Structure 1
Amino acid sequence: MRQGLATTEAVETGLFGPRSVTWQLHADPAMWLAGICSLYLQALHPLAVAGVVQNSNFRRDPFGRLFRTAAYVGAVTYGTTAEAQRAAARVRAVHRALRAVDPRTGQRFRIDQPELLLWVHCAEVYSFLTVVRRAGFRLTPAQADRYLAEQRRSAVLVGLRADEVPGSVAEFEDYFAGVRPTLRRTGDSEVIYDFLHQPPVPWWLVPPRAVAYQPIGHLAYSLLPGWALDLHGHQPFPRTVATVGLRAARAAGLAVPESVRWRVADNHLRDALDRLGRSAAPSRALLPA
Structure 2
Amino acid sequence: MDRVRRRAGNVLFARVAGPDGPRNRREIHTTPGPRWFPPDDPVRVVHADSAMFVGGLTALLLQSLHPAAMAAVAAHSGYRGDPWGRLHRTSTFLARTTYGTAASAQAACDRLNAMHTAISGVSAQGIAYRASDPHLLKWVHMAEADSFLRAHQRFGARTLSAEEADGYVRGMARIARALGVTDPPRTVEELQAGLRSYRTELRCTPEARECTRYLLFRPPLPLPAWPLYAVLAANAVSLLPPWAAAELHLGRCARAERWAVRPAGGAVTGLIRWALRDAPPTADA
- Find the counterpart in structure 2 of residue 74 from structure 1: 95
Is 1:27 matched with 2:48?
Answer: yes
Change in 2 beyond 3 A, CA 1:65/1:221? farther
1:230-259 per-residue CA deviation (whole Å, 9 max, x = no partner) reads 221211463313321221122112222522
Q: Give 5+ residue unaligned stretches, structure 2.
A: 1-31
1:39-95 per-residue CA deviation (whole Å, 9 max, x = no partner) reads 001001111011000112111212332232121111100000111011111111111
Distance 1:89 1:63 in 2: 22
- Contact 1:15-1:81 within 8 A present in 2 as well: yes
**Correspondences of 1:106-185 after superposition (within 5 Å):** 106=126, 108-136=128-156, 137-161=158-182, 164-185=183-204
Please, which moves more after superposition, 116-125 or 22-31? 22-31
**Aligned AA for 1:250?**
T
* Equivalenced residues, count: 250
Distance 1:37 1:200 in 2: 15
**Aligned AA for 1:176?**
L
Is 1:276 matched with 2:264?
Answer: no
**Correspondences of 1:35-114 after superposition (within 5 Å):** 35-104=56-125, 106=126, 108-114=128-134
Displacement after TM superposition at 1:175 (Å): 1.1
Change in 2 beyond 3 A, CA 1:168/1:96? same
Distance 2:85 2:233 in 1: 15
Q: Once the two structures are aligned, what percentage of the paired residues are identical? A: 32
1:215-241 per-residue CA deviation (whole Å, 9 max, x = no partner) reads 433332232122221221211463313
**Correspondences of 1:196-215 after superposition (within 5 Å):** 196-199=215-218, 201=220, 205=222, 207-208=223-224, 210-215=226-231
Change in 2 beyond 3 A, CA 1:14/1:199? farther
Distance 2:219 2:245 in 1: 24
1:128-173 per-residue CA deviation (whole Å, 9 max, x = no partner) reads 1111111143111111111101111110111122xx1111111111
- Find the counterpart in structure 2 of residue 8 from structure 1: none
- Find the counterpart in structure 1 of residue 241 from structure 2: 225
- Contact 2:134-2:181 within 8 A present in 1 as well: yes
- Find the counterpart in structure 2 of residue 266 from structure 1: none
* TM-score, normalisation: structure 1: 0.80
- Find the counterpart in structure 1 of residue 257 from structure 2: 239
Q: Give 5+ residue unaligned stretches, structure 1.
A: 1-10, 263-269, 278-289
**Aligned AA for 2:82?**
D
- Find the counterpart in structure 1 of residue 16 from structure 2: none
RMSD in angstroms over aligned alpha carbons? 2.1
By relative contact order (CA 8 Å, sep 6+), the higher-ranking structure is 1
SS of aligned partner of 2:121: strand
Distance 1:213 1:12 in 2: 37
Change in 2 beyond 3 A, CA 1:177/1:108? closer
Is 1:251 matched with 2:259?
Answer: no
